[in-house]
Chain A
């Protein structure tokens, strides 16, 4: 009961009462949708497709969360930073960065001494972090959904194979099938990874200043786009690199295990660390 009350308090003060925070994901999603629509128009003009294509909901989602194809360092092929994908993940990380820290140094202290336990306070912040991340990612979905309605796109769960390979410039042998509905895990996994990263960022803020934990997470995300490694968890947040999209892609099952492990480890590490954490003022 105490936990539910604390969680509701955190949701209200860390999200609902801060409507300005909703603007960032909304703008990011809207910009991505407009960008894809323009790219589809250009491809239609050049006659890239056999028919005049209109982007569907799944295509918009893929465009937002897709990431980038595996990068193979080559002098003739400079690394192109996946700005859109990075902004999507870092926007949510940035939005969830400060609240636990500022609350702990202000009103949260009053709450903390009254709850009598540090674990429940920390777990409430974890709950807030997970729910907030979900809500902000839902915004990406909602904006794409509304945008799709406005351009009269389709709502099938199929991703257009040709469009995907055109916009992500996948050069290797493709295995994505247009006529097979793509599994929802393809979008659930990036969100799970995002939740894991945000929790990791929160627990890191118990060791270093929040801004440095944000930079650490940014580094993790950016290096994931450059290198393929099972230790760089951002790889599992890029559907374009999944083994169901390209023939030598990352294993989606390993990604699921890695995401859940990151979430559990972050929560447990936080409980242990916060038990002995000194709650001091900023100065």
Chain B
């Protein structure tokens, strides 16, 4: 059981408040959708939860452990932030193998199966630099879910994807929920967000304007 507790978090960057007094509790087995226009603070909140940036005020607890104090990063997290970047000179498989070698939680078979599950060929020797935008996006999703993390964060995972790709994201998110992961997604397509999410946090100017729970999204 994974719990994320965001308590009165504010973030100021270069004298600008990008996140303002945000509080929310998220639990495993659910998908949380972050909704809002560009600059509303969705990505910043994701970066805060992932430990990449530190709150100016407030705290974020992952399973009662304070991020930045008790732990530096969540103990089990898969991250897909805007425009995923991999090593240009490596194939998709080599990139994921490189990442997997750090924690050694999964073997080559699991890596290959994950690549297959996002619609890519694990035996494709093509270098990442030659990937299309959609392929890059799919590899980014594969990197986020490959190690079965307890927390999955996906920022705009449907960008650059065709219809099949969007359906794939929906399937992957459902699988994450079924296996008991806590997933956080943001998406410009409101219909996808409403379809997939158990709860939606509507962000406006860095604040939570509304906290909606399925099925009452309207």
Contacts and interface: CB of A to CB of B under 8 A. Distances in A.
B82 A276 contact: no
A21 to B, nearest CB: 14
Q: Determine which residue in B77, B98, B102 has the highest number of CB atoms from chain A within 10 A of its CB, and name it.
A: B102
A105 B72 CA distance: 18
B47 A279 contact: yes
A116 B52 contact: no
Contacts of B71: 116
Interface in B26-63: 47, 50-54
A279 B87 CA distance: 19
Given A109-B52, A116-B73, A278 B13 contact: yes
A261 B151 CA distance: 42
Interface in B87-103: 87, 89, 95, 98-99, 101-103
B54 A114 contact: no
A141 interface: no
Given A107-B86, A278-B13, A279-B53, A114 B72 contact: no
A2 B102 contact: yes
Contacts of B182: none
A113 B77 contact: yes
Given A5-B101, A116-B73, A118-B72, A278 B79 contact: no
Given A115-B102, A116-B73, A280-B47, A110 B79 contact: yes
Interface in A89-126: 105-107, 109-118
Contacts of A13: 87
Contacts of A106: 85
Contacts of A110: 79, 99, 143
Contacts of B99: 110-111, 114
Interface in A1-58: 2, 5-6, 9, 13, 17
B189 interface: no
A281 interface: yes
Nearest to A279: B52
B13 A109 contact: no
B53 A112 contact: no
A105 B82 CA distance: 11
A113 B52 contact: yes
B75 interface: yes
B81 interface: yes
Nearest to B96: A110
A115 B104 CA distance: 11
A-side interface size class? 20 to 34
A17 B73 contact: no
A112 B75 CA distance: 12
A57 to B, nearest CB: 36
Contacts of B89: 17
Given A17-B89, A279-B53, A280-B47, A114 B81 contact: no
Nearest to A275: B72
A84 B182 CA distance: 58
A107 B140 CA distance: 10
Contacts of A279: 47, 52-53
A275 B53 CA distance: 10
A118 B53 CA distance: 12
Nearest to A17: B89
Contacts of A5: 101-102
Given A5-B101, A118-B72, A113 B51 contact: yes
A5 B102 CA distance: 8
Q: Determine which residue in A9, A107, A111, A276 has the highest number of CB atoms from chain B within 10 A of its CB, and name it.
A: A107
B88 to A, nearest CB: 9
Contact of B103 (A6, A114, A276): A114
7 contacts: A6-B102, A13-B87, A113-B77, A114-B102, A115-B102, A117-B72, A117-B73
Interface of B: 13, 47, 50-54, 68, 71-75, 77, 79, 81-83, 85-87, 89, 95, 98-99, 101-103, 143
Q: Please list the 7 inter-chain residue pairs (A to B) with the smallest Cβ-Cβ separation, ordered nearest first.
A: A106-B85, A278-B53, A279-B52, A114-B102, A113-B73, A107-B85, A117-B72
Interface of A: 2, 5-6, 9, 13, 17, 105-107, 109-118, 275-276, 278-281
